[in-house]
Chains A and B, each alone.
Chain A
């Protein structure tokens, strides 16, 4: 397991890379990319809207990985920022996801994102959520860029 440095982007600066806004922001730190793998994390706060029985729900973990992928595909948000024609990265497919374990309120979960394919309009990402050496959830996400009006900025 890689020893991560201090994050290079944290909340609220990370909002520049996401169309989501609170209470649906599910990633709060970005550590950069090492050997083609990018890392993110989320502190599971007591007010997380996707908590269930004091654990981050399955949908919370999936959204953490989806948003981790979107942060890694950050060039999408540069398009959002500089183009009048607003664009947004959207997840179009989850594939081969396996659920291994869960994370509790008060824990910090980490995300690993490896881009396996990308072009101007879409990307395929292998993603994994983990704490230490324990894998929580892993799978593949396919995402694309669409035109979409949003007031996120």
Chain B
């Protein structure tokens, strides 16, 4: 889990099936020791995980991915330069346990990640 460890939720807003989070990255996380030495960049897979964990937070459950139709990394996220990020997720139930997610991570001006995927509740 990356929530409260790699990032923290500062604000949240829910509108129907859309969840918007303002998050803060924890810049001294040990992941950055190796990604990359002297040049910290949020690993792409951690951005994907942030979107899933924010969706799970909204749904008050745990989720795991079943598929990622598409995930584009548009710009690298430097945790030293980017204090807060905006995570926006459209959450569409497929059935009782499965959800389709369309999400973005950006700051005020720059888009970083766009994803379309499916998740399922996990224990």
Residues of A within 8 A of B (CB): 19-25, 49-50, 52, 57-60, 62-63, 66, 90-99, 139, 148-152
List the B side residues contacting A22 at CB < 8 Å. Answer: 33-34
Tell me the dominant secondary structure on chain B's binding face: mixed
Q: Enumerate 8 A-B pairs (CB-CB under 8 Å) in ascending A order.
A: A21-B33, A21-B34, A22-B33, A24-B34, A58-B64, A91-B73, A96-B69, A98-B66
CA distance A90 to B45 in the complex (A): 12
Complex Cα distance, B31 from A21, in Å, reads 9
By the criterion CB–CB under 8 Å, are A23 and B43 in contact? no
Indicate whether A150 sits within 8 Å of B37 (C-beta atoms), given known contacts A49-B31, A91-B44, A92-B73: yes
Asked if B7 CB lies within 8 Å of chain A CBs, one says no
A59 x B48 contact (CB < 8 A): yes
- Contact size class for B? 20 to 34
Measured between beta carbons, the chain A residues less than 8 angstroms from B43 are 24, 59, 63
Interface string of B8-52 (1 = CB under 8 A from A): 000000000000000000000011011111110001111011000
B interface with A by C-beta (< 8 Å): 1, 30-31, 33-39, 43-46, 48-49, 64-73, 76
Q: Is the CB of B70 within 8 A of A94?
A: yes
A-B pairs, top 6 by smallest CB distance, nearest first, are A24-B34, A59-B45, A151-B38, A97-B68, A21-B34, A24-B35
Interface centre among A62, A149, A150 (most CB of B within 10 A): A62
- Interchain CA distance A23-B46 in the complex, whole Å: 14
Are B37 and A49 interface neighbours, CB within 8 A? no
For A91, the chain B residues whose CB sits under 8 A away are: 44, 73
